[in-house]
């Protein structure tokens, strides 16, 4: 587990498995109705608790195991928040479709209304973990969550301003109004900024990995490099015609036939 390649593969597997587990749970809850979605969210609360416990327990441990555990703890925290969003438990006050002729300023307000509570929770947790984790010996969990947060903000801005490929295949019934706030278009001005920032961040983690002195640092920076590179890949998948949905489609039950599939349903990006 000291090899950076093993750590990178571990991050890749954790990303794939966590995304698949969330999609699987949400799809099964969708098939059983609103009450099942709420039960699914509540049943996942122990994962959130374990995540916060793991984050706190590893802050002052520079060891190899602590690097992996802090990474998993951050994924657990992030994963439950995404689960609560996809089940519709924590979203926003606006649950209506956006009309096609909506002015840009109103469209932004409507889009914000669909995710407002979710965004407030994400940023609250970000502030909380920085208050407790800033300056700690083991900051890998802190940076894992931070990377996921800013990559997700970047992805949402790109979806709002417009990209060529937008996935709606795995969007659950509780969020069926969400795609109306997306825009399919040519690459927007945010996209090159996002790609540049994520590429720079990946390069920075690679430099830290090259300079790592201990097994814990080697594994930790390899994990951060991998998760940042995955975020970069997810952004490119908004442009490149790659069948990434096949990574999870095979493991999910068939959705309820409540809406037609559109041509934009061509892929999925990890959580």
Q: Is 1 helix (H, G, I), strand (E, B) or coil?
A: coil
Give the model confidence (pLDDT) of 218-231 as tens digits.
999 999 999 999 99
- pLDDT value of residue 166: 82
| Residue from 74, 195, 44, 181 nearest 136 by CA | 74
Judged on CB neighbours under 10 Å (0-12, 13-18, 19+), 208 is: middle
Answer yes or no: is pLDDT of 269 > 80: no
| Residue from 262, 261, 271, 252 nearest 27 by CA | 252
Give the model confidence (pLDDT) of 3-55 as tens digits.
899 999 999 999 999 999 999 999 989 888 889 999 999 999 999 999 999 99
Q: Is the dihedral of CA 191, 192, 194, 198 positive or negative?
A: positive
Averaged confidence pLDDT in the chain: 89
Q: In 10 A of CB 153, how many CB atoms?
A: 14
What is the percentage of the chain residues whose pLDDT exceeds 90?
71
Average pLDDT of the segment spanning 254-267: 48
Q: pTM, whole model, 2 decimals?
A: 0.91
């Amino acid at each position: 587990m000291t090899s950076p390649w093993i750590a990178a593969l571990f991050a890749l597997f954790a990303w794939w498995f966590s995304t698949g587990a969330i999609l699987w749970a949400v799809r099964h809850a969708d098939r059983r109705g609103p009450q099942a979605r709420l039960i699914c969210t509540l049943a996942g609360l122990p994962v959130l608790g374990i995540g916060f416990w793991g984050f706190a327990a590893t802050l002052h441990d520079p060891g190899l195991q602590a690097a992996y555990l802090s990474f998993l703890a951050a994924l657990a925290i992030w994963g439950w928040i995404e689960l609560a969003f996809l089940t519709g438990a924590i979203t926003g006050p606006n649950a209506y479709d956006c009309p096609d002729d909506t002015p840009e300023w109103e469209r932004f307000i409507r889009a914000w209304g669909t995710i407002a509570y979710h965004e407030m929770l994400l940023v609250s947790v970000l502030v909380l973990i920085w208050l407790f984790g800033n300056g700690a010996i083991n900051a890998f969990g802190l940076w894992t969550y931070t990377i996921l947060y800013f990559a997700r903000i970047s992805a949402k801005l790109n979806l709002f301003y417009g990209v060529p490929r937008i996935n709606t295949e795995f969007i659950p019934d509780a969020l069926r109004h969400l795609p109306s706030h997306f825009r399919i278009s040519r690459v927007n001005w945010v996209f090159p900024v996002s790609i540049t920032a994520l590429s720079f961040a990946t390069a920075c983690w690679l430099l830290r990995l090259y300079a790592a002195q201990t097994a814990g640092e080697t594994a930790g920076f390899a994990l951060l490099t991998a998760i940042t590179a995955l975020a970069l890949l997810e952004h490119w998948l908004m442009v490149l015609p790659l069948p990434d949905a096949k990574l999870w489609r095979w493991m999910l039950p068939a959705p309820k036939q409540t809406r037609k599939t559109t041509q934009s349903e061509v892929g999925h990006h990890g959580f």
